[in-house]
Amino acid sequence: MADGVVGRDKCGEQRLVSLPLSRIRVIMKSSPEVSSINQEALVLTAKATELFVQYLATYSYRHGNGKEKKALTYNDLSNTAEESETFQFLAGT
């Protein structure tokens, strides 16, 4: 991944993000303040979302309740949101 490529799409084209851009576009357009979205903003938002989710998952795993397990649960993420100042804005969602 040294060149920044995450994978390839169905046509063999290189992809910089793994989240579906069409879904990100729909979510972004659901805001009444958004009228148009250029491709760069779409890719940047998708990449930022991926990095945030990766950080949240890693933090939740490392700061878990000490159980050795192979999967994160909603409770793990919820506990992180409640106990960590960084993720406090997620509490209750």
> Alpha-carbon distance 3 to 31, whole Å?
33
Helix, strand or coil for residue 64?
coil
Task: Give a yes or no: residue 1 inside a domain.
Answer: no
Concatenate the DSSP letters of all residues of 25-50 into one string: HHHHHTSTT-----HHHHHHHHHHHH
Domain assignment of residue 72, yes or no: yes
End-to-end CA distance of the chain: 33
Is 2 a member of any domain? no
Q: Is the pTM of this model over 0.85?
A: no
**Higher pLDDT pick, 24 / 9:** 24
Domain span including residue 71: 7-90
pLDDT in tens, 39-83: 999 999 999 999 999 999 999 988 876 666 778 888 889 999 999
Domain harbouring 33, CATH code? 1.10.20.10
The pLDDT of residue 2: 40
* The pLDDT value given to residue 62: 87
Closest listed residue to residue 91, CA positions, set 83, 51, 7, 66:
83
Q: What is the pLDDT of residues 11-30, one digit of tens each?
A: 656 678 999 999 999 999 99
- Count the domains in the chain: 1
Position 5 scores a pLDDT of: 47
Q: Beta-carbon neighbour count of residue 24 at 10 Å?
A: 19
